[in-house]
Structures are given as structure tokens and as C-alpha cells.
A and B are shown apart, each in its own frame.
Chain A
């Protein structure tokens, strides 16, 4: 739940009053041109110090987390997949994944296998990783972390077509949206019980072919507009461009 959030990055206002509510079990998508503030919103929700909240509040699980440190938010259940994470020299990916889940038994090798990422476990974290490798590394860490609200910054950028389906599947698993039959519960029951929430940024919309999102928003010039069906919103952008969003914003 975000209320009237205003955020400055290096004294420039990048978010100008955002209102957004993501309920447990929901997945929201953010569209918007480059520089519109999408990544800023995710970074602010995670708590990065460069992003200074000047007004408004962020609530998560009934708690005001606006002033909380990054790791407190992470421990409370927020996790993020970064677009361009820093390289940590000398720290092996394997060690990092273990650090993501302290005190928990995790099936590291199995998880890495799932992401086709086993060969990278003994490489320095993010060192020389390609776009697609970074995404898989980020998802592996999130699998270990198992957050309740997952922030995904362009999970499909730089990923080849073959890997997109794999990445999509893993995101679905993380969001408890993996399709499939179960004798114990019906699909509807499972849907109503899921609690994992997500907020993802996409430029191309490819990822929507794999991950079903509930609500789409357009972020333009630091403001949210056009809350609606994600596919419809994407289609509108594809056909008429973001200029149309601007028009919607002014008219409404």
C-alpha cells in the first residue's frame, strides 16, 4: 500500500505522488517510457538510500516501513530482482545464495539446476554475467530468499527467447502461480489462498505471455495513470504510444 509517495533522487523529484495498493496474491505490472520513474519506485520500495522519500508513506503487512532500513524490509518479506546489480568480486554466487537464506536448509544445487545455472555457482557474483545470466542469478537468490512481495525490474530484458519461458516459469513458482493439477485443492481454491504479491516492470510485455498479471499501470513523468487490464494497457501503448497515456492523464 503506497500513499501519495513523493521521492527525490539527487534533489530531483522522480516520483510525484504515487498511490498504489497491491493486495496479497496480486501481481501488478508497470509500464512506462525510459526515465519515467519505474525503477525509482521499485528502489524506493526496497529502501535504497539514494531515493529520498519527501512525502507520503509505504505500508507493508500493516506496518509503516517508510523509514525502515533495506535489510529490515527484506526480512519482513520484500525481495527484488535487479536489472543491473553490482559485481561483488571474490564472493561466489554459491555463497551469496546461502547468505540469502540464513539458517534455512535450501536445495541449492537443485534450485540452480532448475535455472540452468549450476555452472555459475562458483563464479564471482555478477562478474561478467550476460543480461540473461544476471536474471537467472537474481531469481536464484530470490528463490533462496522466498519473499512475499517480489519486485521484478525488467525480468526479460537481455534474455534470449528460449530462456524467457524458463524465467517466466520460475517467476510463476515464486508467485505461487504455477499452473498444474492437484488432487487436494481445486485451481480456484489455490488461487484464493495464494498470498505472494508481485510488482514487475516490463518494456516489451513479453513476460506477460508467461506470467499472468492482474493489474497494469502506466508510470509517466513520475505519476501513475491508466490502471487496468495489463494486456489492454500494453496494446494501447503499442498502438498509440505513451503520448496517449499523457492525454488520458490530462483528461482524467
Chain B
């Protein structure tokens, strides 16, 4: 295993200055790496009320109500992990790598370590992250929650997460990323690898709640086997200076399914370059991507890419953007790539303002123009996510509704 790690390290060193394909090229030296270590938190409810509020906005419930487990990392320290259901595992990735020799085979298997300087940096530093696994056949009743939190201003936090849904299991995770109310700037690099085994189902909901000056570079990929289902939801309605990600899913087994839902609001000063990519590599595989973005003055690039490599595979991409202010940009780049006959790929994209017809229709029922607009915007952001437990859907609806800007 030592040899395997050495090989990865070498590739990381070689890629340490490799510019990413998308997104502003960040100077990694401007972020500090050293952070004080934080002591264990027995119970998330002891956190300060300000930090608790930040957690709540990222979908993480400090009172762990309706959760089957929790994980929390502050800066580089894993301060809390707890599980309330048999057959589930949640721990720091460091601990997991020590516990399971086989885990090194999953580490940098879905995401290439030398993708760019951000993945390279994550490997060179290995600043923890979480490991979550559902044993074969185990189904979670309540979602697990994982929180990656930064408390030190100007810090670069690099984490590596691995989630494994073993055969026939069902796992729901809310991953909240947030920063302390005292933090203004910093960098978060989050590598996440998801493995969905035969007949398993993973829903992964990532909610971001950063500070205005934050730079964020998630690097995620998932591998889905036969009859597996991967649902990925991303919600970001708070300011972020620069966010770039392009998670990728490989549907390798027959009838495997991937669904991506993205809901973002770009406020003035925010720049988001978002995308998702799915490779359809087995018959009967299906991919669906739905994105809803709103700008109130920030910039959003919405990419999507579906690659159909075998016959009898199907993909649909839907990208809708609303521009609610004079400034602001929404740039939709839907890409479909059919490599054989027998693939069925489609997309629809629409960017613009709210149709006057819709506003006036609502007004004809007695709503003022601003009430009508608010109702339409709330509807626009209200994506019904198929296959999510009600609990989680309500959680997302709550997050969407609590932003207070509408």
C-alpha cells in the first residue's frame, strides 16, 4: 500500500502547478495552510449560536434531529462523528484508511489525482475529510449529515471524502459546507468520490454557505454499478467569490441512473462556473440534469455534458436561468455527445427574465407585481427531486425558502 501512496504523491507533485480547465486560476500561495487544531466537540449543540446559524443554512442540524449520523470537521480537525443506526459507518478519512487496507484502492479511483493543481494539493496535504459507508442491504431511514467548516480566516482547507453505498443499500447524505461568521475569505478544495454498488442508491445533497470572499473548488466523481442510482443535489444561495466545479458520473452497470439537480443564486460579486457530466457506458443507463440558476447581479456559467457511448442509453439536460437584475450573466453551455446510434439525448435551455405574461397572470388573481414575482421565483427554485425522502425534500425547500431575499 505504501507503494500505491507513493505513486499518487508523485503524480500530485507533477501536477502541483497544473492549471484547471475551467475557472479562474487561483494563486494557492495566497492562502495559509496552518490552522490551530480544534478539540473534539461532544455534541454539535454546544457550538456558538452564530455558528449554529451558519450550519443550519447549510442544511446541517446541530440538534441532529431527524438524522441518522453526523460528522463535523473544523479547519483540519475532525471534531465530531456519531452514528445512530447499525450498518452505517461515518469517520474521518484518515481513520478509515488506517482501518481498511482496501480503501486505498478507492482513493483517487473515480477522480484522477493529477486532474489539476487543486486535486494535487489535496493529495499533498491530506487534511482529512469523511468516510461514509452503508453496508450491503442497509437502508438509512434518516439522512446522515456531514459538515465541513472553516473557522480560520484566509485558510486553505483541503478535504478528501469517500462515500460507499454497498450492494443493495440506500444512503442519504446532506453535506453542508460553511464558514464561521467571523471568516471572510479562504479556499475550500473538496475531493469527493462516490461509489454506488449494484442495486444501491445514494442521494447526496450538498449545500454551500460560504463567506463573500471565499474560493471553492470541489472535485467530485461517482461510479455507479448495475441498477444503482445516484442523485446529486447542489444548492448554493449565499455569496461566494469564485466557485468552479464539474462533477462527473460514470454509469458503468446496466440500468444505472444518475440525476443532477442544481439550484443556485448568484448575488453581485459571485462567480459560479458549474457543470455536471455523465458518461452512459451500459445499456439501459439514464441521466438527467436539471439546473435552475438565478442571478441578482453575479455571474453563472452552467455547463452540462452527457456522453452516450452505448445503444439504448438515454440522457436529458435541462437548464433554466433567470436574470433578475440589470447586471449579471447566465451562460448556458449544454453539450450532448452521442457516440453510437441508439442513444437518446436531448436538452432544453432557456435564459431570460420572468415572462411578463406570467407576472400579469398572477396579478389578475389579485397579487401585486412584487408578490407575483416572488411566487414565480419560489416556484422556479422549487425543483421536485425524484426519489428523495420527504424529510430531505422539506429540508431543501426550507433552505430555499429561508434565504430571506424574496
Cα distance A124–B378 when bound, in Å?
A: 12
Cα distance A80–B357 when bound, in Å?
A: 14
Answer whether residue A14 sits at the interface, using C-beta atoms and an 8 A cutoff: no
Contact indicator A74/B366 (Cβ below 8 Å):
yes
Set A70, A80, A88: member contacting B358, Cβ < 8 A? A88
Q: If the complex has contacts A70-B364, A74-B363, A99-B362, are A90 and B369 also in contact, measured as CB distance less than 8 A?
A: no
Answer whether residue B173 sits at the interface, using C-beta atoms and an 8 A cutoff: no
Answer whether residue A96 sits at the interface, using C-beta atoms and an 8 A cutoff: yes
Contact indicator A82/B363 (Cβ below 8 Å):
no
User: A71 — nearest CB in chain B belongs to which residue?
Assistant: B363
Interface residues of A in 48-102 (CB under 8 A from B): 48-50, 69-71, 73-75, 79-80, 82, 85-86, 88-91, 95-96, 99-100, 102
Answer whether residue A46 sits at the interface, using C-beta atoms and an 8 A cutoff: yes
Contact indicator B364/A79 (Cβ below 8 Å):
yes
Shortest C-beta distance, A191 to chain B (Å), equals: 28
Contacts of A74 in B (CB 8 A): 363-366
User: A82 — nearest CB in chain B belongs to which residue?
Assistant: B361
Answer whether residue B368 sits at the interface, using C-beta atoms and an 8 A cutoff: yes
Set A75, A86, A95: member contacting B366, Cβ < 8 A? A75
- Chain B interface mostly: helix
| Binary interface encoding of chain B residues 378-406 relative to chain A, with 1 for a CB under 8 A from any of its CBs, else 0 | 11111110000000000000000000000
Contact indicator B356/A49 (Cβ below 8 Å):
yes
User: A142 — nearest CB in chain B belongs to which residue?
Assistant: B365
Set B320, B357, B371, B379: member contacting A91, Cβ < 8 A? B379
Answer whether residue B141 sits at the interface, using C-beta atoms and an 8 A cutoff: no
Set B356, B358, B367, B381: member contacting A71, Cβ < 8 A? B367
Answer whether residue B110 sits at the interface, using C-beta atoms and an 8 A cutoff: no
Q: If the complex has contacts A88-B379, A90-B381, A90-B383, are A100 and B366 also in contact, measured as CB distance less than 8 A?
A: yes
Answer whether residue A141 sits at the interface, using C-beta atoms and an 8 A cutoff: yes
Q: Chain B: interface residue count, which band?
A: 20 to 34
Answer whether residue A40 sits at the interface, using C-beta atoms and an 8 A cutoff: no
Cα distance A102–B367 when bound, in Å?
A: 9
Set B356, B357, B365, B384: member contacting A99, Cβ < 8 A? B365
Of A47, A69, A75, A91, which is in contact with the most chain B CB atoms at under 10 Å from its CB? Answer: A91
| Binary interface encoding of chain A residues 95-130 relative to chain B, with 1 for a CB under 8 A from any of its CBs, else 0 | 110011010000000000000000000001100000
Answer whether residue B21 sits at the interface, using C-beta atoms and an 8 A cutoff: no
Answer whether residue B349 sits at the interface, using C-beta atoms and an 8 A cutoff: no
Contacts of B360 in A (CB 8 A): 48-49, 70
Shortest C-beta distance, B232 to chain A (Å), equals: 19
Contact indicator B379/A89 (Cβ below 8 Å):
yes
Cα distance A74–B364 when bound, in Å?
A: 6
Answer whether residue B1 sits at the interface, using C-beta atoms and an 8 A cutoff: no
Contact indicator B379/A100 (Cβ below 8 Å):
no
Answer whether residue A145 sits at the interface, using C-beta atoms and an 8 A cutoff: yes
User: B358 — nearest CB in chain A belongs to which residue?
Assistant: A86
Of B361, B375, B380, which is in contact with the most chain A CB atoms at under 10 Å from its CB? Answer: B361
Cα distance A85–B371 when bound, in Å?
A: 18
Contacts of B375 in A (CB 8 A): 88, 91, 95-96, 99
Shortest C-beta distance, B370 to chain A (Å), equals: 10
Interface residues of B in 315-360 (CB under 8 A from A): 320, 355-358, 360
Q: If the complex has contacts A49-B360, A70-B360, are A90 and B378 also in contact, measured as CB distance less than 8 A?
A: yes
Shortest C-beta distance, A78 to chain B (Å), equals: 8
Cα distance A69–B360 when bound, in Å?
A: 9
Contact indicator A89/B380 (Cβ below 8 Å):
yes
Shortest C-beta distance, A168 to chain B (Å), equals: 23
Answer whether residue B376 sits at the interface, using C-beta atoms and an 8 A cutoff: yes
Contact indicator B367/A99 (Cβ below 8 Å):
yes
Contact indicator A46/B364 (Cβ below 8 Å):
yes
User: B400 — nearest CB in chain A belongs to which residue?
Assistant: A90
Contacts of A102 in B (CB 8 A): 366
Contact indicator A91/B363 (Cβ below 8 Å):
no
Of B320, B365, B382, which is in contact with the most chain A CB atoms at under 10 Å from its CB? Answer: B365
Contacts of B382 in A (CB 8 A): 90-91
What are 27 sample pairs from A and B whose C-beta atoms fall under 8 A apart? A48-B360, A49-B360, A50-B356, A69-B369, A70-B360, A71-B367, A71-B369, A71-B372, A73-B364, A74-B364, A74-B365, A74-B366, A79-B364, A80-B364, A85-B361, A86-B355, A88-B375, A88-B376, A89-B320, A89-B380, A90-B378, A91-B375, A96-B362, A99-B362, A99-B367, A99-B375, A141-B365
New A-B contacts (8) at CB < 8 Å, excluding given A50-B356, A90-B380, A145-B365:
A46-B364, A48-B364, A71-B367, A71-B369, A71-B372, A79-B365, A88-B362, A88-B376
**Measuring CB to CB, which residues of chain A are less than 8 angstroms from any residue of chain B?**
46-50, 69-71, 73-75, 79-80, 82, 85-86, 88-91, 95-96, 99-100, 102, 124-125, 141, 145
**Measuring CB to CB, which residues of chain B are less than 8 angstroms from any residue of chain A?**
320, 355-358, 360-369, 371-372, 375-376, 378-384
